[in-house]
Structure 1
Amino acid sequence: MDITKSYIVQCITAAANNLRLSSEKIETVAILRERITSCTNILDEIKKFKKTTELSKLGIKLSDIFNYVENGKLDFLKVSENFREHSHLLVRELNHVLDITTPTVMKSIFQRFYDETINIDLTKRGTLEPEFRIEKKEVEFPKRSHADELKEALIFDELNKEEGFNFESYEEKVLRPIKEIDSFLNKVLKYNYTESEITNCIKKMNENAQLSQKVGFDIISNMHKIFADGLESINQKKIAPSVNTIDSLRACLIVIVAVIRGKEVDITNYLTRAENFGKMIKSNKREL
């Protein structure tokens, strides 16, 4: 393994060691490390990370580390100090990745990488001479049809859409209303709100639920949906805005902020409470 790849893998390992990981998350880290270890071109791999929603912010950090090692900035007299700094910088982003992925999701992401590589390789054959393509067809390498060209155009269009995703913009849009909504919960507890206020809040949370779902952040999307459904149930008098209800709604907000910001805290209790609240809403109980 070359020094750059080895350095990056060890940074990821050190970052993971600073997190409290379940067996599932340990498996996800192992899949991530194996992918980087076995890749033939670490720079191309990092570029793919940066174009993938779930791995984009981690990819940016890995790119910084790659540039540090490759551009002659590796000072062996300070390597331990710099290594600790780099691994520490990965903790937040790695934690975020582990919160929004599973081993199955991670394998699916890397399978997409493989599929995209195959499709890109197919486009190169379009520049070959017709006679050569015919020869390839005889050994089961089909020449590109018009349908293939349309398929490839669609693939690259999707890649361009991924490149256009800006996590910072998404983060700002989702987190901006949280503080105001949290304050609004105090008004809900006291029945001191208008129909317009609660309707607008429900609409905003549903919009951000759809946005989160679209970019693949299922946990964040689910928390928004549960929150919106909870407020809707209160508005329709299906559940009472008790202290327990408000605390459960607030748990949804805590999970949203913690996951997006990559907070290094255990949110299991908040996540469990929010999910149980979601189940309760569906059963139309009066109280928690």
Structure 2
Amino acid sequence: MMDLKKQYIIQTISVAANNLRLSSEKIEVLGLLKETILNAGDLETLIASMKKITQFSKLAIKLQEIYNYLKLNKIDFLKLSDKFKEHTQLVVKDLNLALDALTPNSYNAINIKLNEFSLNSSTDGHRDESLTIDFTDRKSLLTDKMRTARIKENYIFEEETNDDQLFFQNFEATILKPVKEIELVLKNLGNGEFKSTELRQYESVMRVNASLSEKFGTEITTEMHNILARAFRMLQLKELNPEKEMIEAMRACLIVIVALVRNKDIDITYYLNRAEDFGKKLQTLKMRNS
């Protein structure tokens, strides 16, 4: 039976990756990372070793935070879904950075270092345990001291993490807040009932949320917001006619955004393709009109 902590962290990484645009090479690296976690003899030792690797250091700090939650807190299964969603959002940005920095070949070289670090840590840990009288209390004390040392060593990172935590808590609410309003605007567009001020307002909202999504590291969500912002802009300038097909394409952008932000485990390929085709069409129209 797989260790619950491993299963939770692997699933967190998998769902976070759904928010990213992954090449075949990145998918391979992602698979290697999950395999490394799955095969780890000691997950906490592995995470500590990852902190020593430049490409993994920031991601490892987030994984340590998740690991600490699983290890030190009594799990409230009624709230676990919300916590899982928070943890998924927590790792997206740094998972993306790690995947950008790695190839399958470079990962394999790094994995050798991880094994060396883990082996050294395990050997040191064994020597400490042989001197332990009260194993549970000593181990707890050692873990606390190690954790304190890591916090000091990663002071700058931890400040970023605290800032990120506030950001992650507000991200979902901020992105989803205008969705229903925009659905109503799209419905009114179909009926020919819309105001230029509304279009300008939601163009601005989409640009702000695109910037927020970019900071969060979600490429697809960023792209969807940019497409909607561009569409609202072109509607204002009368470079785009509010036809049924166009409205459905804008709605497809919204569906993709909501599905990704809420981590809905459904196939959104149809909507994503439709939204991306619409984005290409807008680019073509823009070039013609410029």
**TM-score when normalising by structure 2:** 0.59
Q: CA deviation at 1:34?
A: 3.8
- The code of the aligned residue for 1:105 comes to D
Q: CA deviation at 1:158?
A: 5.6
Number of the residue aligned with 2:114: none
CA distance in 2, matches of 1:228, 1:17: 29
Identity of aligned residues (%): 29
Number of the residue aligned with 2:208: 207
Q: CA deviation at 1:195?
A: 1.5
Number of the residue aligned with 2:162: 163
CA distance in 2, matches of 1:214, 1:15: 19
Question: 1:132-211 alignment to 2 at 5 Å?
Answer: 157=156, 159-165=158-164, 166-211=167-212
CA distance in 2, matches of 1:93, 1:7: 15
Structure 2 SS opposite 1:232: helix
RMSD: 4.9
Q: CA deviation at 1:193?
A: 1.4
Question: 1:248-263 alignment to 2 at 5 Å?
Answer: 248-263=249-264
Number of the residue aligned with 1:276: 277
- The code of the aligned residue for 1:283 comes to T
Q: CA deviation at 1:61?
A: 5.5
CA distance in 1, matches of 2:222, 2:36: 28
Structure 2 SS opposite 1:262: coil
CA distance in 2, matches of 1:202, 1:281: 14
Structure 1 residues 238 and 207: alpha-carbon distance in aligned structure 2, compared to 1, 3 A threshold = same
CA distance in 2, matches of 1:218, 1:17: 16
Number of the residue aligned with 1:105: 100
Task: Please say if residues 186 and 247 of structure 2, whose CA atoms lie closer than 8 Å, have aligned partners that are also in contact.
Answer: yes
CA distance in 2, matches of 1:273, 1:60: 38
Q: CA deviation at 1:237?
A: 1.6
Q: Deviations over 1:90-140 (max 9, x none)?
A: 6997699789859833848x99xx9xxxxxxxxxxxxxxxxxxxxxxxxxx
Instruction: Confirm or deny that 1:41 pairs with 2:38.
Output: no
Instruction: Confirm or deny that 1:65 pairs with 2:70.
Output: yes
Q: Deviations over 1:187-218 (max 9, x none)?
A: 12222111111100100100110111122221
Structure 1 residues 102 and 248: alpha-carbon distance in aligned structure 2, compared to 1, 3 A threshold = farther
Task: Please say if residues 206 and 225 of structure 2, whose CA atoms lie closer than 8 Å, have aligned partners that are also in contact.
Answer: yes
Long gaps (5+) in structure 1:
74-81, 115-154
Structure 1 residues 206 and 215: alpha-carbon distance in aligned structure 2, compared to 1, 3 A threshold = same
Q: CA deviation at 1:265?
A: 0.5
- The code of the aligned residue for 2:6 comes to V
Task: Please say if residues 32 and 106 of structure 1, whose CA atoms lie closer than 8 Å, have aligned partners that are also in contact.
Answer: no
Q: CA deviation at 1:27?
A: 3.2
Task: Please say if residues 96 and 217 of structure 2, whose CA atoms lie closer than 8 Å, have aligned partners that are also in contact.
Answer: no
Q: CA deviation at 1:47?
A: 9.5
Aligned residues: 224
CA distance in 1, matches of 2:89, 2:162: 22
Long gaps (5+) in structure 2:
111-153
Larger CA deviation: 264-273 vs 34-43: 34-43
Task: Please say if residues 90 and 168 of structure 2, whose CA atoms lie closer than 8 Å, have aligned partners that are also in contact.
Answer: no
CA distance in 1, matches of 2:23, 2:284: 32
**TM-score when normalising by structure 1:** 0.59
Structure 1 residues 92 and 23: alpha-carbon distance in aligned structure 2, compared to 1, 3 A threshold = farther
